[in-house]
A and B are shown apart, each in its own frame.
Chain A
């Protein structure tokens, strides 16, 4: 199903047939057309040979037959038109062993990306991202235009990642951007428009009738007055002695409340949030100077009120060739304005995703067009509800939270060919990112007058964070084929990498209304006016110097051998561990080249690969090894006190990975299979060692643990029908990863809140008290003791067990199918994650007597009321505890994308004399999710559903035209 590196293969062809201008023009056309769904399958299928696929390996490229590492390649065409702002989200399900989990449906939010399982407890799990040879910041992608991406390679095994040494253990994601081809100017215009909407219509909370009845019943059952349903109830004994007129008034109140039916979703969520994208690109040039240039405008409103993203991005890639010298200059710059909701992923009322649940159904937010909130309800004669929803609405309307991001990635790659087989190269580049984050609360509003705001006259917070990463790689590459049988590539490089990060933030008060939104609105603070501003900030940085060597040898296209070496010196480890060597070795054997298989024509490829090597992952903290002294004050003068114990033996978490793989192509390359088995053992995993407190410190991070990730990855694709008018292809990729804590260096386990790190279990294993159901006789909640007996008392320390699985899926992958008939094409894509469990904390808040004044889950209606009731919901008075009841299966299969396209017939376009091709398409993203998960969205980047912004369903229609 994947168009196996087609366009890159074309590029190769291009270099082989330099003289053939005619062919080149054709190839150019094809390469441009590649980006259009429906066109790529129209080309010569004999090129689809697995081993001819070019893999980008970092520092070098190779064909699969030369290469022995485990790499998955995702073609840019799979990413180019997806209506999502952060490209990492688009990778979900596209490559085996790559787990992408989004924690937020906020447009532009990055995802959690894990390659081959989590190999650390407290360290970084993010892969290394490299664009055109220059390392870029992970997790910051919303300002990049994925439309510029030619391909994305996922480097997984040691043979592939050891080349990145101390940064490679979490895997490497290499991005190559589009380049211009020599030939006439080619213009391409693409635009799409559509809407986003919530994927579910119901939040499973009570409606007005249910709520009022619930309030009355709670009153009857416990005497607890939780709302007007009981306070004004005729059944309330306190009302029994009231005069008849008063009783009538009470009935009237209940009657009018009963006629209010507020669906808070209508106030906080958008049913059709608009989406617009425009992209114009141009490419072309001469043999000596070629360019690719693209401008993109992307605007997507979020499904939550006021959220959205607007992006402007621009890229120009220039290639210059002058005899033996060539240069590639890549510049990309983008600006994004991201509007966010407040307190996402938290139970606070100001999180609109929580207020949707909390708001009472008989609370009417607007009276005569005016919002009635706690600040002004007295003027309306008061209300009988909590105003929780209205207050949240007021907050949402009178506050802002915007992030403006400016991001640029620039690099210049120079190359000089001394001879046909020896060249020197250097690649200098940097990645720059600046975030300006502004949060405001309007003065003169209810929110702006809260006591938590000094001076009670609004707030303006503005922060700026600057990230800069510089990379320079220089080296020599020797590549030659000797006597037609020995194909040898040897290369050596020196690399230097420097990162700098700084941030500052100020929060000021006493906002002058006319100037709201800027720093100038802040009133200078003094002890008298109480507007004392807050100022914060920080700086950090790293330096990394490396020597790199790689060698590849291919004998008679049959035996291949890859060796890599990297020596890293890093500022993030103490002096005695500063320099470390990383290496890998890999071998490949193509059985198809053996005589005994030559006669089996149905086998096109049968190749075995294996590799072993070492790498490490970067640290979450740049200076964790130093014994640091923090600042304090005494008598207005500076003071320092020991703050960090440091560790002189602090070292990397080293991963040793063994990988064995097979590449198979059958039946005229119609069936293609790439499969890998790996065993990744990470040693020196950081654990917190408890110290004798007589040392002055409590704990110290030491390299003591061992974590193993072991798994299988399969990528199978095939052309089911392949003829002139009709092609039907399908692909399936799946990865199984088993994660185990092997050792914790002396201790057997330690708990981390509701999860446990225990030898023999996966790292993110749930650890909580097992739910024992509701006692039918008493209505009390029951819990299991560790010995299996039931009790009504709850003790998280003595009862917790670790039998509820983990948040990391055992299986992940994707399924895709594509049908092309004449000018029509259709593609469906599913992604899935199986065997993972998460806490559904939303139910902790909506099925909890402690929060019963807010609206609650309709599951309350099936609670225990009298002896004999068989239910899973205890009586109202029962204290709500966290148990295994809150852990739910978060497995899902998601219909991630459906695309339908029609390409206008070439005959028709010929007459226009202008258009080279044109296509119209419609697509739906995140259309349906198959899951047993009870919350809003099973997909998340952490262990707990906590009123997250759910992923939206986006439907767009677009036109793509080439001139």
Chain B
């Protein structure tokens, strides 16, 4: 009796011990990584750094790029465009709750959030001397530069252009530098945002000073820092600063201009690296980028095309036949619109898809997104020089002509003043067409536009909001509205931009 008693109690006790031993309520999810687990070593930092780049790849091209070109003056909506991206194209129906505005805004801010967390998190890591320290500095520099890039995109799209006289009072976008889900940030001024961008660029410059530039780099280098600095300072009308930064990249000689047809075709089709200061790495099948699918719309079965947007006639005609870019950027195709074939319509062929990235028999429009190209540095140097005054005009014309000659055009002679500036603008129009610059340039130059004659009126959607649209200089919607969601939720997000 006694014996059984002891055995039984022992058994029951053991069972109790067994259960309490497994008392572990602290569990971590298996399929995602908790924040506390992600900043321990330099290897963690490397993974984060890859995340920054991977995220950046998802925030270029696609709607991040073509939305402004659709809003601009170079494209007509095809008759079969199905109202895809119709709101920005028509202007009047473009509202602050438009998905374009919402998605681009949230895309940039989530990129900033990622950089913010990384900048804070990297501080908690103690690297060993040597490569660990060098690497961690690189990762830090990348995070600052990514943040500067996103803020620059935000300030360009959601605020008036930087005017030295009013920048301190013009409203910009909220400056979020620390991760806080509950924060309800107010709008900073344009100047505050640009100052922050310059601060981040300065940080990045120090941290990335030892990272040499190379053609087609898929990581940030000191040249990428300079290229962003040139772009930002041009916006700020800091002509000397913009010119100096652009010249730093040009004179390094790393990225010679392409000066023949074959190479330029390959540059756009096959993502040849020669002129590229930075491009996001793209690889099939799991590292694909956003695509600029609006321009072609290849129907694989017929080999014909149903694009959403077609370049206007004057845009095509703006390219001289000797211009290597004409063949590289455009291609005459047979369109099928509403069941009817239209041969010989010129389409934007800049993003036809790199065959090396195809995941099926026909194109998936994949390219390595090019964020900074050397040609833009020539144009920045030329524009800064042309606008800084007579003293720098000659040097500006030299840079402009270097680009023109390389592209198969003749050198311009003796231009100064307004004609020189206009020549720079025209070249910018051509060189950077469909790369997302046009609307921002018009806004910066305080120019309006009138959409002009299409190639074939029967292939396009017609109406006063389409091919007949005229927009005055500094029209409200050059500056995008703050997304409705944020205005509703965040009482400090005010006032809404004019006209929205």
Contact = CB atoms under 8 A, between A and B. Distances in A.
A426 interface: yes
B93 to A, nearest CB: 14
B16 to A, nearest CB: 5
Contacts of B174: 694
A624 B108 CA distance: 24
A666 B224 CA distance: 90
Interface in A765-784: none
B131 interface: no
Given A635-B281, A640-B38, A426 B16 contact: yes
Interface in A599-625: 622-623
Chain A, interface SS category: strand
Contacts of A632: 50-51, 54-55
A695 B176 contact: yes
A474 B16 contact: yes
A636 interface: yes
B353 to A, nearest CB: 18
Contacts of B9: 416, 424
A474 B18 CA distance: 11
A336 B184 CA distance: 55
A633 B286 contact: yes
Residue from A541, A545, A570, A692 whose CB has the most chain B CB atoms within 10 Å: A692
A642 B47 CA distance: 12
Residue from A325, A538, A634, A691 whose CB has the most chain B CB atoms within 10 Å: A634
A324 B11 CA distance: 14
B22 A496 contact: yes
Nearest to A416: B8
Contact of B27 (A428, A543, A636, A694): A543
Contacts of B57: 634
B92 interface: no
B33 A628 contact: yes
Contacts of A414: 8, 11-12, 15
Contacts of A630: 32-33
B106 A698 contact: yes
B46 interface: yes
Interface string B1-34: 1001100110110011011101111111111111
Residue from B1, B47, B49, B483 whose CB has the most chain A CB atoms within 10 Å: B47
Given A570-B25, A634-B281, A692-B493, A474 B54 contact: no
Given A642-B117, A690-B485, A694-B109, A569 B34 contact: no
A641 B114 contact: yes
B29 A628 contact: yes
Contact of B180 (A578, A622, A695): A695
B406 to A, nearest CB: 30
B22 A633 contact: no
Nearest to B32: A628
B129 interface: no
A634 B287 contact: yes
B281 to A, nearest CB: 5
Contacts of B55: 632, 641
A639 B47 contact: yes
A697 B12 contact: no
B368 to A, nearest CB: 11
Contacts of B32: 623, 626, 628-631, 643-644
A641 B51 contact: yes
Contacts of A634: 50-51, 53-54, 57, 281, 287
Interface in B162-180: 174, 176, 179-180
Contacts of B28: 623, 626
A243 interface: no
Contacts of B23: 496, 543, 545
Interface in B482-498: 483, 485-486, 488-490, 493
Contacts of B106: 693, 698
B183 interface: yes
A691 B179 CA distance: 13
A691 B485 CA distance: 8
Given A472-B18, A578-B25, A325 B8 contact: yes
Contacts of A416: 5, 8-9, 12
B181 interface: yes
A428 B15 CA distance: 8
Contacts, number: 197
B16 A695 contact: no
Residue from A472, A539, A636, A695 whose CB has the most chain B CB atoms within 10 Å: A695
B54 A641 contact: yes
B105 interface: yes
Nearest to A696: B113
A645 interface: yes
A695 B51 contact: no
B260 interface: no
B425 interface: no
B45 to A, nearest CB: 11
A541 B113 CA distance: 29
A545 to B, nearest CB: 5
B486 A693 contact: yes
A913 interface: no
B218 interface: yes
A542 B27 contact: yes
B34 A626 contact: yes
A695 B116 CA distance: 11
Residue from B25, B34, B283, B488 whose CB has the most chain A CB atoms within 10 Å: B25
Contact of B4 (A323, A541, A543, A623): A323
B281 A696 contact: no
Contacts of A623: 27-29, 32
Contacts of A633: 50, 54, 286-287
B5 A693 contact: no
B31 A538 contact: yes
A570 B5 CA distance: 35
Interface string B167-209: 0000000101001111111000000000000000000000000
B133 interface: no
A569 B26 CA distance: 10
Interface in B209-244: 218
Given A416-B9, A424-B9, A635 B53 contact: yes
Contact of B490 (A539, A628, A694): A694
B414 interface: no
A288 to B, nearest CB: 13
Nearest to B300: A451
Given A472-B15, A634-B51, A496 B4 contact: no
Contacts of A426: 12, 15-16
B24 A543 contact: yes
B112 interface: yes
A908 to B, nearest CB: 49
A470 B281 CA distance: 47
Given A545-B23, A694-B109, A637 B29 contact: no
24 contacts: A324-B4, A325-B4, A416-B5, A428-B19, A474-B19, A539-B31, A541-B30, A543-B27, A571-B27, A622-B29, A623-B28, A629-B33, A635-B283, A639-B51, A645-B181, A692-B185, A692-B490, A694-B174, A695-B179, A695-B180, A696-B114, A696-B179, A697-B113, A698-B485
Given A545-B23, A694-B176, A694-B490, 18 more contacts: A414-B15, A424-B9, A470-B22, A494-B19, A495-B19, A540-B30, A628-B31, A629-B51, A634-B51, A639-B50, A640-B38, A690-B488, A691-B181, A691-B489, A693-B102, A695-B181, A696-B110, A698-B485
Interface of B: 1, 4-5, 8-9, 11-12, 15-16, 18-20, 22-35, 38, 46-51, 53-55, 57, 102, 105-106, 109-110, 112-114, 116-117, 174, 176, 179-185, 218, 281, 283, 285-287, 483, 485-486, 488-490, 493
In the A-B complex, the 4 residue pairs with the closest CB atoms: A696-B113, A628-B32, A639-B50, A623-B29
Interface of A: 322-325, 414, 416, 424-426, 428, 470, 472, 474, 494-496, 498, 532, 538-545, 569-571, 578, 622-623, 626-645, 690-698, 700
